[in-house]
Structure 1
């Protein structure tokens, strides 16, 4: 991958242009033709570097309730339990990690349902396995932006933008028209000169109306970002670790802000602790090796003045997809 493709990846991860001809805008900032931008993105998709370019929603703003869940699964039941959990459409990620609670998955329940009841049902199907439901109490950072730049690329790199909002300040109206927009723009953006126009035509609306809606939803946090999502491993990030700390409650906001300031951290949350699980501060870090992740975790711990922590690496990926909202057609 050359410098131009790396800078292109950096830009479309951070801020994709919400305009009628976004690829032309990108071409002007990179000093290449629109055709070359389209060709480069096509190649990056074919080589599985780019998973997709789309809206990334704040699911809570759309009425969904989500949580991280840790389940204690005996070794002999791993395959069956993973199949049961993965069958639920609201499960987007599922990993095997070390420890008693070894199956970790993220789950979203649609409006009108509770995460706890869905998890209880899944647990019952998996022979009543114990589970920890760990919803976010407070979100400090949600922004997966992988540093793909190398020495010499920074002259073309854009100034880093502020972190996207973690919460919405506007109520989503679940009208049939709005739901249709969500279901459309959560898919991969068409690789044509006027992609939003293609989406607008399929929705029976004017392009300027769709652009205005997307921009408004981004402004108010209904859409957290509109950006490219990359395959971590294809750009060299072959290790990711979930770091967990037992943080004093009177210091948790301070510590969370420190964690969120580190570029290696993509997600950072305050989650509930319990008798079986005393950890309440979580951060996902991405690195090119487990050793690099371990070094970052140690720096985070020292910067926040904490001590009691673990880093849990995933040893197996059972499921990793983009969550499809309104899968029930409601």
Structure 2
């Protein structure tokens, strides 16, 4: 990777441009053409530096329940079990910890109508785990991390909505955030469809949002308006 690749990786982490031609916008900021942006991102994906470009939603605000799950497997079963666990749509951040009793750790999210403990127990049984332990999220302290690919360091941000308020206002808003971070907000069926569409890997084409909007039966401007409301 050269410095231009690193600058691009910084820019696409957040906030990603919600405009008709987002890759042209990125190119203007870096000083290269739209096509070069597309070519560079394609290569970064080919080499597994970049996994995907998509919207990230707060599962708790959508009514999902989340937990960290630790499972213990015989070493020879670990890889096969991990591949099976990965098939579940609510699984992310699945890591092996070889040498530990609990040697597979992953996060699990399930929709409101599903039981978190029952889901984890079923997965444990299906994959032949020796033992499993769930650690449901009780309080959230950090909701994101950005990696500065130019300076080669990371920075995180937490759920506090504002870091520049007076101490009294900040204390009140922190209390409100702490009490409401896992409260679901009502969403319509159309919004659910939009969320599904925006979670898909963004196509590396000049106007990627057009096809998403078309699949949802709305205009691109309507899609942008929904995305803004979600933020």
Tell me if TM exceeds 0.5.
yes
- How many angstroms does 1:100 deviate by? 2.0
Distance (whole Å) between structure 1 residues aligned to residue 79 and residue 46 of structure 2: 31
Q: Indicate conservation of the 8 Å contact 1:23/1:34, yes or no.
A: yes
- How many angstroms does 1:137 deviate by? 1.3
**DSSP 3-state at the match of 1:141:** coil
Matching residue of 2:90:
90
Q: Indicate conservation of the 8 Å contact 1:14/1:161, yes or no.
A: no
List structure 1 runs of 4+ shifted beyond 6 angstroms.
Answer: none
After superposition, the Cα gap between the structure-2 partners of 1:31 and 1:115, relative to the gap in structure 1 and judged at 3 Å, is same
Distance (whole Å) between structure 1 residues aligned to residue 108 and residue 220 of structure 2: 33
Q: Indicate conservation of the 8 Å contact 2:72/2:102, yes or no.
A: yes
RMSD of aligned residue pairs (Cα, Å):
2.7
| 1:192 matches 2:201 | no
Q: Indicate conservation of the 8 Å contact 1:73/1:102, yes or no.
A: yes
TM-score, length-scaled by structure 1: 0.56
| 1:183 matches 2:196 | yes
Q: Indicate conservation of the 8 Å contact 1:62/1:174, yes or no.
A: no
**For 1:87-126, what aligned pairs fall within 5 Å after superposition?**
87-97=87-97, 98-126=99-127
Q: Indicate conservation of the 8 Å contact 1:42/1:191, yes or no.
A: yes
Structure number with higher strand proportion = 1
After superposition, the Cα gap between the structure-2 partners of 1:120 and 1:29, relative to the gap in structure 1 and judged at 3 Å, is same
- How many angstroms does 1:82 deviate by? 3.5
Q: Indicate conservation of the 8 Å contact 1:92/1:107, yes or no.
A: yes
Match of 1:171 among 181, 185, 204: 185
- How many angstroms does 1:28 deviate by? 2.1
Q: Indicate conservation of the 8 Å contact 2:66/2:107, yes or no.
A: yes
Partner deviation per Cα, 1:189-214 (whole Å, 9 max, x = no partner): 12222222221122110111100111
**DSSP 3-state at the match of 1:78:** helix
| 1:136 matches 2:137 | yes
Match of 2:229 among 187, 201, 216: 216
- How many angstroms does 1:178 deviate by? 1.8
| 1:204 matches 2:198 | no
- How many angstroms does 1:76 deviate by? 4.8
Partner deviation per Cα, 1:92-136 (whole Å, 9 max, x = no partner): 333221322222122122220121111122233345732211122
**DSSP 3-state at the match of 1:133:** strand
Distance (whole Å) between structure 1 residues aligned to residue 116 and residue 201 of structure 2: 28
After superposition, the Cα gap between the structure-2 partners of 1:75 and 1:171, relative to the gap in structure 1 and judged at 3 Å, is same
Partner deviation per Cα, 1:198-249 (whole Å, 9 max, x = no partner): 211221101111001111112xxxxxxxxxxxxxxxxxxxxxxxxxxxxxxx
Q: Indicate conservation of the 8 Å contact 2:71/2:129, yes or no.
A: no
Structure 2: runs of 5+ lacking an equivalent: 161-180
Structure 1: runs of 5+ lacking an equivalent: 152-159, 219-330
